[in-house]
């Protein structure tokens, strides 16, 4: 297949598997989404969704969040990890939203990325899912799959994002980035990767990745055989 044909194959298969793409993080508006995305750094979406109801029961808007102390926020979000950074960031950007944006999360990459604890990926998720602005947030799943599929060289997240935006039509970005995440979790994880299940990579994947997987399987088979003969 040519690269263009591979891109079309990926788009077709992901749409077949995931015609609906609900945002994995529970939220009700741009502010609660922003908080949830910040909490999701190095934390599973499942755990974030367990913690945010507790936090939002106390403060589900920037005004109430700004009234909380950093320590009060930290006590609630502790299971999500990176507590000092996240609690200070949430408290600080809540104040910024109240004082500089009349309590409304700004629909601007520049404004979002200027806030504490809000990097480009977080801003991209909020712009994409809360405001419908075309963006392609790159998380670990997308970074991994873009490399496995031979669509990017894996040197940096920024490079992966540029390649994704170049390869895929702009109108697909907001849905497609979620579809790739869903596929990565279900079929092409970092750990326990099984190429027999990962049919997209098996069909179009980078040869070095496929060969590496095959070599690992041979090694496991030899180890099992050696153990059985003892």
> What does the H/E/C string look like for 24-52?
CCCCCCHHHHHHHHHHCCCCCHHHHHHHH
The reply to whether 194 and 217 lie within a common domain is yes
Is residue 121 annotated as part of the catalytic site, yes or no?
yes
Tell me which of 45, 67, 88, 139 is the catalytic residue. Answer: 139
Tokens representing 184 are 């990565």
The reply to whether 161 and 96 lie within a common domain is no
Domain boundary among 105, 129, 153: 129
Tell me, yes or no, whether 67 lies in a domain.
yes
Residues spanned by the domain of 221: 1-19+134-230
Tell me, yes or no, whether 43 lies in a domain.
yes
Domain boundary among 95, 129, 163: 129
Tell me, yes or no, whether 25 lies in a domain.
no
CATH of the domain at 208: 1.10.1670.10
pTM for the predicted model, two decimal places: 0.91
Q: What are the tens digits of pLDDT across the range 155-198?
A: 999 999 999 999 999 999 999 999 999 999 999 999 999 999 99
CATH of the domain at 84: 1.10.340.30
Tell me, yes or no, whether 216 lies in a domain.
yes
Domain boundary among 74, 103, 129: 129
Tally the domains of the chain.
2
Residue for token digits 């994880």? 189
- For residue 85, give Cα distances in angstroms to 31, 56, 156, 187, 211: 18, 19, 23, 32, 41
Tell me which of 60, 86, 121, 163 is the catalytic residue. Answer: 121
The reply to whether 140 and 227 lie within a common domain is yes
230 pLDDT exceeds 70?
A: no
Mutual angle of helices 157-167 and 140-148, in 10-degree steps: 70
Is residue 28 annotated as part of the catalytic site, yes or no?
no
The reply to whether 88 and 167 lie within a common domain is no
Q: What are the tens digits of pLDDT across the range 70-128?
A: 999 999 999 999 999 999 999 999 999 999 999 999 999 999 999 999 999 999 999 99
């Amino acid at each position: 297949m040519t690269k263009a044909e591979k891109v079309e194959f990926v788009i077709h298969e992901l749409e077949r598997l995931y015609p609906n793409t609900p945002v994995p993080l529970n939220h009700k508006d741009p502010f609660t989404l922003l908080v949830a995305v910040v909490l999701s750094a190095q934390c599973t979406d499942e755990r974030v969704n367990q913690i945010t109801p507790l936090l939002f029961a106390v403060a589900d808007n920037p005004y109430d969040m700004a009234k909380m102390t950093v320590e009060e926020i930290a006590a609630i979000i502790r299971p999500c990890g990176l507590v000092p950074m996240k609690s200070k960031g949430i408290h600080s950007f809540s104040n910024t939203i109240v004082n500089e944006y009349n309590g409304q999360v700004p629909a601007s990459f520049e404004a979002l990325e200027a806030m504490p604890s809000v990097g480009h990926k977080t801003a991209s998720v909020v712009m994409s899912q809360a405001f419908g602005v075309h963006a392609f947030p790159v998380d670990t799943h997308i970074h991994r799959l873009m490399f496995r599929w031979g669509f990017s060289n894996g040197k940096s997240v920024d490079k992966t994002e540029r390649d994704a935006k170049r390869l895929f039509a702009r109108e697909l970005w907001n849905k497609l980035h979620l579809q790739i995440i869903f596929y990565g979790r279900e079929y092409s994880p970092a750990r326990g990767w099984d190429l027999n299940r990962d049919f997209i990579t098996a069909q179009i994947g980078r040869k070095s990745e496929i060969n590496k997987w095959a070599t690992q399987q041979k090694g496991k088979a030899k180890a099992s055989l050696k153990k059985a003969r003892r």
